[in-house]
Amino acid sequence: MGQAGQTFRCDPAEGRPDGEPSVAVLSAGLRISAAIGACTIDPVDTVLHGDAYRGSVKIRVADPTGLVVGGRYLMTKPDGEREWLDVLAIAGDAVTLKHPILHRYAGAATIRGCRISIAVDPAWSSSPKHLSDTGRHRRLAGYMLRWTYGVEGREVTAVTWADLVTVPSSELVSPQDVDRRNPGWIASLPPEHRATEGADFISEAVRVVRQEAFGDGYAARKIRDARVLRELVQTRAAVIRLEHEVLHGNPRASELAVAETRYRTSYAQLVKPLEASYIEPTEAAKDKSFAKGSEPGVARRIPKLTRF
């Protein structure tokens, strides 16, 4: 909230838009004035320098001007075959990618920016009443953005979601915080996540913890305490990392079970009402998923909401 230089962004699945895109920011179905200026399209337009081989995570480009870490670019062969590149690091004309290349490309392949951006109105983002987790904005996502742009002569509409929060996930919990809470976490990250030290897992942990509290007024109030949210995110990030590995075939299910138990215990200790002692739920209560989840003494199931 209140940070300078913030933008709303959309990555069109179809590729670089034609003409001038537009966007409407909506809250509870009503259009609001949260953006200023006009939409812009990432101007990056370069070519591959040399060949790129399937399975590689490093390429060279003829002109790296405009390329940014965290950016997304479309690489296209002259025959039309293409794929998206997510940038992890840039050193001169060498670019490190988050994911291995799927196809072989020759130097004639183009690399173009397609992302649409528009500036967030600083006056709007500085107002506490616009925070996503307060008042009438308290829902799974605070704001819906409806983007309209042209592709090969036809009009296309895309929808993205945004939240206005007091502290971004990158500042709330750092990789070093998670490593102190879970020793060895950074060193054990999958290769594609080492360059960012697991920042994606942390960001997803913040989203999941907030979503798990959705619909439970007491839990939502508790996790608005930065100390509670920080502790839960540090534990949840470790769970998400292990879920990622298990889903990709690594035999770490037993470690995942331990991490999940640790997280659920921490969630119960930090989020349940302090004045209530835990009462073992009856069989009938166990069969009612999420039933009366905010009442003292009733077990509340925490769903697995991680997406990969």
Give tens-digit pLDDT for 150-203: 998 899 999 998 888 777 777 889 999 999 988 998 988 888 788 788 988 998
pLDDT score recorded for residue 250: 85
pTM assigned to the model: 0.68
Spatial neighbors of 54 by CB under 8 A, at least 6 apart, are: 100, 101, 102, 103, 104
Collapsed DSSP state (helix, strand, coil) of residue 53: coil
- CB atoms < 10 A from the CB of 27, how many? 16
* 297 in a structural domain: no
**Are 192 and 282 members of one domain?**
yes
Does residue 277 register a pLDDT over 60? no
pLDDT in tens, 108-132: 899 999 999 999 999 999 888 888 7
Are residues 12 and 131 located together in one domain of the fold?
yes
Tell me, yes or no, whether 19 and 146 share the same domain. yes
16 and 158 in one domain? yes
Identify whether residues 27 and 127 lie together within a single domain.
yes
How many angstroms separate the Cα of 40 from the Cα of each of 11, 37, 76, 114? 12, 9, 22, 10
Task: Find out whether 262 and 242 touch, Cβ atoms under 8 Å.
Answer: no
Domain of residue 86, residue span: 43-113
Asked whether residue 18 falls in the same domain as residue 162, the answer is: yes
In this structure, the number of other CB atoms found within 10 A of the CB of residue 176 comes to 11
Q: Are residues 136 and 20 in the same domain?
A: yes
Asked, for residue 303, whether it belongs to a domain, the answer is: no
How many whole angstroms separate alpha carbon 285 and alpha carbon 300?
Answer: 9
Q: Percent of the chain, pLDDT > 90?
A: 50
| Residue 250 within any structural domain of the chain | yes
Summarize the confidence of residues 132-161 as an average pLDDT.
80
Other Cβ atoms within 10 Å of 237 Cβ, number: 31
Query: What's the confidence (pLDDT) of residue 2?
Result: 55
Residue 274 falls within a domain, yes or no? yes
Within this chain, do residues 188 and 156 fall inside the same structural domain, yes or no?
no
Identify the DSSP state of 135: G
Q: Identify the top-confidence range among 46-55, 184-193, 239-248.
A: 46-55
105 domain-assigned: yes
Q: Which of 301, 291, 293, 296 is nearest to 277 (CA)?
A: 296
**Residue 219 shares a structural domain with residue 276:** yes
